[in-house]
Amino acid sequence: MAYLHIYAQDPDDALRTSWFTQNATARTMAIGGAMGSLGGDLSAAHINPAGIGLFKTNEFVISPGFNFGNNKMAYRGSDSTARHNSFQSGPIGFIFGGVPKIPGSWTSFAFSISYNQVANYNNHVQYSGFNNYSSFTEKYLEELTRDGADTNAAANNYIFGSSLAFRTYLIDTTMIGGQMGYKSLVPISSGVLQTNDIVSTGGYNEIAFGLAGNKGDQLFLGASLTIPFINYQRITTYSEKDVTNNPNNNFSYFTYHETYSSSGLGVGLKLGMIAKPADAWRIGFAVHTPQFIAFKDQISSSITANTEAYAGLRTASSDDLNGGSPGTSNYNLLTPYRVIGSLSYVLGEEEDTKNQKGFLTGDVEFVNYRGARYSAQDKSDNGLVTYYNTVNEAIKSYNKGNINVKIGGELKFDPVMVRLGLANYGSPYAQSVLKAGRTVLSGGLGYRQHGIFIDLSYAYTILRDVQFPYRLNDLANTFAMIKGGKSNIALTFGVKF
């Protein structure tokens, strides 16, 4: 049996579905993503569905966008840069609003169906540095030692990792205290040059079916049934190279290459309310329940190692050991819940929005990043069940809940609007040494006339994050620090019908 599941997921993977900046219509992007109590925008179906209740007519919206990114990495005293550009789709969909034919306590109802790319995974990370503390190969030593693997298991049971290292003699047997153990041929004491290059593509997408009711233009209640579907691809090329140029130390270099893909389909629910305690004020509250997503992952990997006189140049591939097929892993993920509180002040509040002069708005959002939970689809596999329990404990240890704050405003000069926004996303990591956060500065313009509207926004994200080339259990983990900048340009076109 090939133990793909032993290293298929880690705490960093869980953050892909929870730590991201708000993607929305150009109007919402321009005001920092603060749509928790405003409503009247298709983005509300993905943030606070009660905001759909402000619609009494029909509307179609489309929101294309584009990202320009630049990453600056620092790893063990060395700096590097990498660029990445990509298309991103904001909300696309319909809103159908109307007044009930039979008079009652509800003033109006609205229904929406929309698609939104919640997070864009297109990215490029590249860094290198000198390391005389630890090696990528030590995770293979930990794995083989933990399982008490004999040489047959080492050669055949870990075909996407340890077996490749063993077959290329990057890892070999040794005697430890009179018993057989394993050693790495990487000369850690003299140090190696480590290089990691990761190119990722894909996105976290969501279809939302929203329904909201308006009670006397004072209370709005809504819910969205969400269907997340995720596609993620990653190509990793990692290497360690001898820096001594000694041809007799049994190590020149090794390169690990991995092709990984992950696809998921799930379901979730978003609930919200907006109240107007006074004409100019709006208070919003929303809860995003955890989304249940079923994933299927595939992985192929290879190692090429040159151990000089020890075993020469060797290459081993998972394709050769798995009949030419990638390894497959099936599992479930329960994403963290979110709670959003919001407050807005509308300048010149009137039922006719043309007479309003603008607004100020702010959202406070709590995300329980440590609440992500993996589970095995095959409950009869005790090894998988134990593994995912271990990963979940690591998530609770490595991650924490944190606050995101978003503020924005708009001034109206009918038919033109001017908007500004600011958002700050707190770190999801429990360890203070892992400096992370995202700050978004945004602004934009809007035009509304004769049932047609066009919005344009620009948002610049200042990013701080970390990236672990590998994780070890018995040593402090080394990581790269990432400081990046990403520009997003979004255009929204809408028409009432």
Question: What single DSSP character describes residue 372?
Answer: -
What local confidence, expressed as pLDDT, does residue 6 receive?
Answer: 44
Cα–Cα distance measured from residue 151 to residue 155, given in angstroms and rounded to the nearest whole number: 6
User: Taking the domains of the chain in order of start, what are their residue ranges?
Assistant: 4-496
CB atoms within 10 A of CB 223: 19
Q: What is the pLDDT along the chain (497 residues), one digit of tens a residue?
A: 444 444 567 788 899 999 999 999 999 999 999 999 999 999 999 999 999 999 999 999 999 999 999 999 999 999 999 888 889 999 999 999 998 877 778 999 999 999 999 999 999 999 999 999 999 999 999 999 988 999 999 999 999 999 999 999 999 999 888 889 999 999 999 999 999 999 999 999 999 999 999 999 999 999 999 999 999 999 999 999 999 989 999 999 999 999 999 999 999 999 999 999 998 999 999 999 999 999 999 999 999 999 999 999 999 999 999 999 999 999 999 999 999 999 999 997 666 666 779 999 999 999 999 999 999 998 888 888 888 998 999 999 999 999 999 999 999 998 999 999 999 999 999 999 999 999 999 999 999 999 999 999 999 999 999 999 999 988 889 999 999 899 999 999 999 99
> Are β-strands 292-306 and 313-317 bridged in parallel, bridged antiparallel, or unpaired?
antiparallel
- Non-local (6+) Cβ contacts of 188 within 8 A are 131, 132, 133, 134, 135
- Non-local (6+) Cβ contacts of 240 within 8 A are 135, 136, 137, 186, 192, 193, 194, 195, 253, 254
- Contact (Cβ atoms closer than 8 angstroms) between residue 215 and residue 108: no
| Domain topology for 4-496 | Porin (2.40.160)
Output the six-digit token pair for 96.
């159908």
Using alpha carbons only, give the angle 187, 192, 194 rounded to the nearest 5 degrees. Answer: 135
Question: What single DSSP character describes residue 289?
Answer: P
For residue 97, with 0-12 CB atoms within 10 Å meaning exposed, 13-18 middle and 19 or more buried, which class applies? buried
Cα–Cα distance measured from residue 64 to residue 120, given in angstroms and rounded to the nearest whole number: 13
What local confidence, expressed as pLDDT, does residue 1 receive?
Answer: 40
Model pTM score: 0.91
- Contact (Cβ atoms closer than 8 angstroms) between residue 362 and residue 406: yes
What local confidence, expressed as pLDDT, does residue 387 receive?
Answer: 87
Residue ranges with strand state E in 312-400 = 313-317, 327-334, 338-347, 358-368, 373-376
- Contact (Cβ atoms closer than 8 angstroms) between residue 182 and residue 141: yes
Structure-token match 């306590």, residue found: 105
- Contact (Cβ atoms closer than 8 angstroms) between residue 428 and residue 408: no
Structure-token match 């925008």, residue found: 41
Output the six-digit token pair for 167.
């077959």
What local confidence, expressed as pLDDT, does residue 352 receive?
Answer: 61
Output the six-digit token pair for 185.
């041929």
Q: Residue 319: helix, strand or coil by DSSP? A: helix
- Non-local (6+) Cβ contacts of 337 within 8 A are 287, 288, 289, 290, 367, 368, 371
What local confidence, expressed as pLDDT, does residue 2 receive?
Answer: 43
- Contact (Cβ atoms closer than 8 angstroms) between residue 195 and residue 214: no
Output the six-digit token pair for 148.
């008490």
CB atoms within 10 A of CB 9: 21
Structure-token match 């497959």, residue found: 328
What local confidence, expressed as pLDDT, does residue 4 receive?
Answer: 45
